[in-house]
Amino acid sequence: MKPVVLLDFWASPFGQRCRIALAEKGVEYEYREEDIMRNKSSLLLESNPVYKKIPVLIHDGKPVCESLIIVQYIDEVWPDRSPLLPADPYARAQARFWADFVDKKFNECGTRLWQLKGEAQAAAKEEFIEILKLLEGELGDKKYFGGDAFGFVDDTLVPFVSWFYTYETCAGFSIEEAAPKVVAWGKRCMERESVANALSDPHKIYETVGVVKKRYGIE
Residue 176 is assigned to a structural domain of this protein: yes
- Assign residue 58 the CATH number of its domain: 3.40.30.10
Q: What is the pLDDT of residues 60-114, one digit of tens each?
A: 999 999 999 999 999 999 999 889 999 999 999 999 999 999 999 999 999 999 9
Residue 35 is assigned to a structural domain of this protein: yes
Domain boundary among 77, 105, 139: 77
Please give the tally of structural domains in the chain: 2
> CA 109 to CA 105: how far, in whole Å?
6
Confidence tier at 212 by pLDDT (50, 70, 90): confident
Q: What is the pLDDT of residues 117-144, one digit of tens each?
A: 999 999 999 999 999 999 999 999 999 9
Residue 84 is assigned to a structural domain of this protein: no
- What domain range includes position 8? 4-77
| pTM: predicted TM-score of the whole model, two decimal places | 0.95
Q: What kind and span of H or E run contains 215?
A: helix 202-215
Same domain, 46 and 103: no
- Angle value at C-alpha 186, between 177 and 133, nearest 5 degrees: 45
Same domain, 98 and 196: yes
Same domain, 156 and 117: yes
Contact 144, 185 (CB under 8 A): yes
Residue 146 is assigned to a structural domain of this protein: yes
Residue 138 is assigned to a structural domain of this protein: yes
Neighbouring-strand partners of residue 62: 59
C-beta neighbour count of 27 within 10 angstroms: 17
